[in-house]
Structure 1
Amino acid sequence: MREACDFLQPGRLLENRYRILGLLGQGGMGRVFLAEDERLPGKKWAIKELKPGPAQRELLAKEARVLAECSHPGLAAVTDFIPANAHGVCYLVMEFIQGHTLLQVLREKGPISWAKAGGIGIELCQVLAYLHEGRPVPIIHRDLKPSNVMLDENGRVRLIDFGTARHYHQGANADTVRLGTLGFASPEQLLGRQTDARTDLYALGAVLHFLLAGGNRQLPDGERGALPEEVPPEAQAVIAKLLEEEPSRRFQRAEEAEAALRAALLPHEQAAAAHKRTPVAGTTHAKNARNPSSPQMRIVVGGLTGGSGATFTAIALARCLHALALPHTLLELPGTTPDLYHILLGDQHAPKGYRYWTESVCLRPGGGEPGKEWVSGHTEWVPLAPNRGLEKWDSACAKQLLGRIIRPAAIMDIGSAWTNPAHEELLAEADLILLVCDPSPLHLSRGEAARNWGRLGKLKQKNRRIEIIANKAVGFKGKQEWLESLPERPFCQIPEIPSSAVLSALWQGKLLADQPAVHPLLRTALEPVISMILAKCGHSGQRRSIWRRLRTAGKQD
């Protein structure tokens, strides 16, 4: 039987596709290997191998079923399940996440600061909210702990190991099996009672306490040690509520816990922002510091190639921020095809006396003065002048233009002009770069795609945060192969918009992103990006969770 367990060894080829590179880890239930995809050279996967036995096989099959239902950047994607072979060994092929678990981080660096732990907690709340919403029924993880949470190479939180997850069925009095880890399992879990979303929220509180206390769990008497004095009272109150013994006294939904964590983090973020706005005179930091009135969040949106949907994505993101009442500016930068004016039906909707900012900055000595703002709700539009090019556009123009933006967030649409020298400084200072890809083989085969991949690779090496947006992620035969061909898993997937909605918007002279049938699709797809922007801009909901506000706004639009 030991021979069967040792079936996977470095150099072996599994299913004529996965070349085993080495062992990543092992435990009592089995092992995890790193493998390279022979069909997609350079693509690596994590392969779980479970020891022979009906219970183990069912555990792995269950994890495969749970993750196959999910699509969220905070979860590992499952691409293949290989049933038991002649030796009774089965395998689960998953996305390989390069990074460290929270337990590893804690052991290497010691206690985690409240600012970092709070950010981790917010991201975990977003993942839990997705699971608890139900697709088609809620999923309860039931084993949230530091060793099951990873920070990937980009610092994103990823929840792993769904072997103990279960679907929640309302009305059940107890779980079939008692599972969980002592110190993180909730009281109802240990007593074999019914678990629900609040069970995972208890574990979240235990994880946050564990991180802040430097790895201390419950004391022998069941109590937890005091948190360091550096943890503010507001944060301690949130953790205490998460750890309430009675489920009815905890937060009832992950969105509520997220809003409370954001509120507890806000004083720290405001203090940090104030510190950044007052650099020491004469220092390098002072010279390079942003103007206090400039955007707190700079997002660059561009397509892998022309026609990938960069402008559509930028507008969709803007209208989601509008629904959340977060003031922002959408700039269409030179180097792109000037489409925004036409999309906005500028001949009808541009304010009288409107002067294009790009022209006032570039064509007048000292920049000149712009005309009236073009505002729609909380969105300010800054389109290029239609049918006219700019003779002059350089990094100085770009910096001057951006310096005039006074709203908290700036979305910059650069089309597919990643290699334009004038955009160099904008890309270097961007807080987030969104690369929009679509599944068209014609686009992927262009030389432009290869050049842009190379440019973005250099930015990645400079620790710029780059996330992939998969546009038109509709179900089709080659979808999985397309997604696997991307350098990393998409941060968001925007579905194909029904042609009926597109035509309705065109004939009504309205924005597609504002259509009642479209807006909910976009806000769900772009949720991870929107959460980042809200966190950066300190725009947390006071009494309702941000996503409840979004849903409400969607009904009103």
Structure 2
Amino acid sequence: MEMFNRGLSAGIESGDIIAERYEIQALVGQGGMGAVYAAADLRLGGKKRALKLLPTSSGAGENAEAEVAVLMRINHPRLPQIIDYLPSDTLTGMPAVLVMDFAEGVTLEAYFERSGRRMELDRAVDIACQLCTALDYLHLQDPPIIHRDIKPSNIMLDSTGFVRLIDFGISRLVKHNQQQDTTKLGTPGFAPPEQGGDTGQTDARSDLYSVGALLYYMLSGGCLPNLQANGLGAAERRQLSPELPAAVLDLLDRLLQHLPVRRPSSAAELQALLITLIDGHDKQVTVRGRIQYEQQASPVVGVVSMSAGSGGTYTAITIAKLLGEAGRRTIYIEHPALEPEAYMLLDGSQRQRAVQGRDRSNFRPLDTRYTGWIEGDCGFQTLCPDAGRGGLGRCSAILEQAELINGQVTTFEGGEPCTSVLDLSSAWMDQAASEWPGRCDILLMIADPSIARWTRRRLAKWQEIRSFRSVHSRATYWIANKDIDFAGRREWLSLMGEPPLAVMELLTPREWMEWQWKGRWATEHRKWHVTLEKSLRPVLQAIVSYQGEAQR
């Protein structure tokens, strides 16, 4: 491993290059668990990375190794994504380096200070709910992963309010045969009593105590609960606004209990309590930690794929179906630049017969190239199977529907606005479809591990589109499809330069083929439905929380 010529003793400076790949830009954090630098990834056009130099002292070294072990196991959009790991080099004195995606934004600590140490209830609950999503993922690992250091400086907020939980320096894997923790760790005020090392071992409920302390911190103007108090004491209550609903005080009291058994049992339960709490306070509050379907914004969601066969159509249909099942009026649209596929893939003739005389009378095709049907709150605009690429006869493959652009597709009776899921798949670079990747309110790229089909031309065009959309503040994500456990998996998940918003596992090929021949979709399979809804939850949340700021 190449290191800078001056060696570690002279310190790391801007411009230093590590491993012939990462160019140091600035020091962004320093703590007992190591220094963190911002760096440019020279192999990926200067993509910003976070480089954490892990401490080498005996105790700190053990924690550093534990952090690496934890991060190597996790893959979630609200958690750090490990890109590379560089072992220590005894010859140069270079410590081990952990390379992660760079979490844009500011810490909750900095945000809170800039806000005058004041935060509204809905904002605080929104942050707590998003944290619960990440904690639920960690606590459901086998064995469970406990963060143990939830505090404002370990929470990042980007410009949209998206929350990420960082710094796993003192996290641990639960050892069920261990009676108590052997080391006092955590941040005073945010750490629960059991992290003191003498009242039992930490488990998932320890992180929930910290969420309660964080909520109290945000709602009290920056105060910390007294660890000696069992629950929310009189002194703590005096620091809170008298206008807070009693349900908020009751929940804080449960979270700050000394005995873990008196706290909520899981992050999922806490999230449900938070949602119930805020729903009772204000029905219009947007909570990002759950899927909320009441909002009226009707975005156009474009779905593209890195190559043919990556699963663009499969993902677009699945997203549309999941939204429709949950009561969100959604329309799947197959772009005419594609070969007609969705009708046969969904066994359209059988589905049209099933709704004949019930919803069929309400269906209006976009134009003569389309046919389709309505299933509950999900409509399908599929190309006629005999249309051929580019539509019927002399019809242009261009799709220029003013209603679609304005979110007013009238597939449903009454013309109510609905979310449009536009399937562009691998045709997104064709001239007939080329305007839509930049125009869609939300753009999703689908990529599978078959990187032999990832052409340089497509990668370059994707980077160009991402940059354009970033300048115009338009949401752009990628989804990893056909996920399996293989040697290059971590490298595959890092090739886009940022972690995927969702990872979808590869369905059993034989069972999936048999299911299709029965005219069934993956969401109609009980086991797959649960897996798909959980995997795509961050995507569904991004769609339903769309507020319409971007101009189409």
Preserved CA contact (<8 Å) 1:329 1:381: yes
| Aligned with 1:103 (options 104, 109, 116) | 109
Matched, 1:187 2:193: yes
Among 209, 218, 224, the alignment partner of 1:217 is 224
**Is 1:454 the counterpart of 2:464 in the alignment?**
yes
Root-mean-square deviation (CA, aligned residues, Å) is 3.5
Q: 2:345, 2:516 within 8 Å by CA — same for their partners in 1?
A: no
* Matching of residues 426-465 of structure 1 within 5 Å: 430=441, 432-441=442-451, 443-445=453-455, 447=457, 450-465=460-475
- For structure 2, the residue ranges without an aligned partner over 5 or more in a row are 1-5, 230-234, 287-293, 548-552
Q: Which runs of 5+ in 1 are unaligned?
A: 274-291, 365-369, 538-557
What SS is found at the alignment partner of 2:409?
A: helix
Aligned AA for 1:381? F
1:382 aligns with 2:381: yes
What amino acid sits opposite 1:350 in the alignment?
Answer: Q
Distance 1:271 1:312 in 2: 33
1:511 Cα offset (Å): 1.5
After TM superposition, list the pairs within 5 Å mapping 1:400-415 onto structure 2.
402-405=409-412, 406=416, 410-415=420-425
> Residues 394-440 of structure 1, C-alpha deviation per residue, up to 9 Å, x if partnerless?
2414247525544875534343565779897997673x432222344
C-alpha separation in 2, matches of 1:428 and 1:114: 35
Q: Match for 2:215 among 200, 204, 208?
A: 208
Pairs within 5 Å for 1:228-239:
228-229=241-242, 231-239=244-252
Structure 1 residue 462: deviation in Å?
Answer: 1.5
Structure 2 counterpart of 1:374, which letter?
A: I
TM-score (ref. length: structure 1): 0.80
Cα distance in 1, alignment partners of residues 498 and 325 from structure 2: 30
Quote the offset at 1:153 in angstroms: 4.8
C-alpha contact (below 8 Å) 1:357/1:382 kept by paired residues:
no
1:55 pairs with 2:59: yes
* Equivalence map 1:143-222=2 (5 Å): 143-190=149-196, 192=198, 193-218=200-225, 222=229
Aligned partners of 2:228 and 2:150: how far apart in 1?
Answer: 22
> Conserved in 2, the CA contact under 8 Å of 1:501 and 1:518?
no
Residue 131 (1) aligns with residue 131 (2): no
3-state secondary structure, aligned to 1:347: helix
Q: Following TM superposition, by how much is the alpha carbon of 1:184 offset from its aligned partner in structure 2, in angstroms?
A: 0.6
Matched, 1:263 2:276: yes
Counterpart residue number, 2:72:
68
- Quick one: distance in 2 between partners of 1:500 and 1:528? 28
Paired with 1:119 and 1:403, the residues of 2 have a C-alpha distance of 33
Q: 1:227 aligns with which of 240, 243, 247?
A: 240
| Amino acid paired to 2:382 | P
Q: 2:437, 2:97 → 1: CA distance?
A: 45
Which residue matches 2:400?
A: 394
Residue in structure 2 matched with residue 278 of structure 1 by the alignment = none
Match of 2:493 in 1: 483
C-alpha distance in structure 1 between counterparts of 2:445 and 2:280, whole Å: 32
Q: Is contact 1:374–1:382 with CA below 8 Å preserved after alignment? A: no
State how far apart, in whole Å, the 1-side matches of 2:133 and 2:295 are.
Answer: 30
Are 1:512 and 2:512 matched, yes or no? no
Match of 1:27 in 2: 31
Q: How far, CA to CA, are the matches of 1:531 and 1:400 in structure 2?
A: 18
TM-score computed with the length of structure 2 as normaliser: 0.81
Deviation at 1:59, TM superposition (A): 1.3
Residue type of the alignment partner of 2:50: A
- Within a 5 Å distance, the mapping from 1:9-48 to structure 2 comes to 9-48=13-52
Q: CA-to-partner distance for each residue in 1:100-149, whole Å, 9 max, x for gaps?
A: 11001111223222222221111100110011112x21111111111111
Cα 1:191–1:233 change in 2 (3 A) is same
How many residue pairs get matched?
A: 509
Deviates more, 1:479-488 or 1:196-205: 479-488
CA shift for structure 1 position 249? 2.0
Aligned with 2:506: secondary structure?
coil
Counterpart of 1:208, as a letter, is L
Task: Decide whether aligned partners of structure 1 residues 220 and 131 sit closer, same or farther in structure 2, where only a CA change above 3 A counts.
Answer: closer
Bigger proportion of residues as helix: 1
